[in-house]
Amino acid sequence: MTDTPQILLAHHLKALKLPTFLREHDKLARQCASDGVDHVRYLLRLSELELIERERRMVERRIKEAKFPAVKSLDSFDFLALPSLNKALVLDLARSEYVARRENVIAVGNSGTGKTHIALGLGLAACQKGLSVGFTTAAALVHELIEARDDKRLLRLQRQLAGYKLLVIDELGYVPLSQTGAELLFEVFSQRYERGATIVTSNLPFDEWTGVFASERLTGALLDRLTHHVHILEMNGDSYRLKQSRRRQRGTRSADNPSEG
């Protein structure tokens, strides 16, 4: 019978969905008793542990739901390798206040300069703030939109895309779009206009976007919406990936021939 309170407590904590309370209460009680901590401070410590663990799980869930191709933080981005990038602006954006203001971010620059890394880092920062994030490439999104239209579930997908606090669309301009694809993608941007924040990365300057959407009218209307409330990240420079590859090659040659260098 002496175990009954413990059994009931475990049952109640599970019902209340307080797994950290259940896991830590006994160990923390002994520690607090040893330290002479009163019951209020004991409960305070226990509730803090529960909140910390709950926040960690929430962030993990947001990251999983975002469907990032990789989890990358801004801490691992080499800003020194890209002097053209406004580091202060990127770090300010990492606070995610632009998301609440429903503003957009466009990262433009040649291939290999880290645009996807910056987009992933800003997406991760938003997840850590408890915001819902979705990540996709422009080509994959257009493919998904066309499939949804053919399967008569386009409206449901459009509502999902409109519902994200932050939507990241990577690699706009890498693949030319069909007229149908361009119109469906435009509709996504249009539905999010002043309702949600969007990050776009592109290897093309704005005056070449017409080649992607194959329509000056559609491109003009899209840019009008995207750039109304926007932060532009100029990311032109030497390819970061190419520089890494050259460093590796030099390292391999040095290892093969130690007399070099």
Where in the sequence is the domain holding 28, given as residue range(s)? 4-61
115 and 197 both lie in a single domain = yes
Nearest to 24 by CA among 4, 52, 1: 52
- Predicted confidence at residue 32, as pLDDT, reads 85
What total of structural domains would you count in the chain?
2
57 and 30 both lie in a single domain = yes
- Predicted confidence at residue 23, as pLDDT, reads 84
Q: 254 lies in a domain?
A: no
Q: 232 lies in a domain?
A: yes
Q: How do residues 181-218 score in pLDDT, each as one tens digit?
A: 999 999 999 999 999 999 999 999 999 999 888 889 99
- Token pair listed for 153: 């579930």
119 and 13 both lie in a single domain = no
Q: 53 lies in a domain?
A: yes
154 and 217 both lie in a single domain = yes
Domain end residue (candidates: 61, 93, 108): 61
Q: What one-letter code names the amino acid at 256?
A: D
52 and 135 both lie in a single domain = no
- CA-CA distance, 210 to 199, in Å (whole number)? 19
Q: How do residues 107-160 score in pLDDT, each as one tens digit?
A: 999 988 999 999 999 999 999 999 999 999 999 999 999 999 999 999 999 999
Q: 257 lies in a domain?
A: no
103 and 219 both lie in a single domain = yes
160 and 44 both lie in a single domain = no
**What CATH number did the domain enclosing 133 receive?**
3.40.50.300
123 and 174 both lie in a single domain = yes
Q: What is the pTM of this model?
A: 0.81
Q: How do residues 146-189 score in pLDDT, each as one tens digit?
A: 999 999 999 999 999 999 999 999 999 988 889 999 999 999 99
22 and 138 both lie in a single domain = no
Q: 251 lies in a domain?
A: no
Q: 221 lies in a domain?
A: yes
CB distance 45 to 32 below 8 Å: yes
| 259: pLDDT strictly greater than 60 | no
102 and 50 both lie in a single domain = no
120 and 211 both lie in a single domain = yes
- CA-CA distance, 61 to 130, in Å (whole number)? 10
- CA-CA distance, 196 to 135, in Å (whole number)? 14
- Token pair listed for 166: 């932050």
Q: How do residues 32-81 score in pLDDT, each as one tens digit?
A: 888 888 888 888 888 888 787 888 888 899 999 999 999 999 999 999 98
56 and 81 both lie in a single domain = no
Q: 66 lies in a domain?
A: no
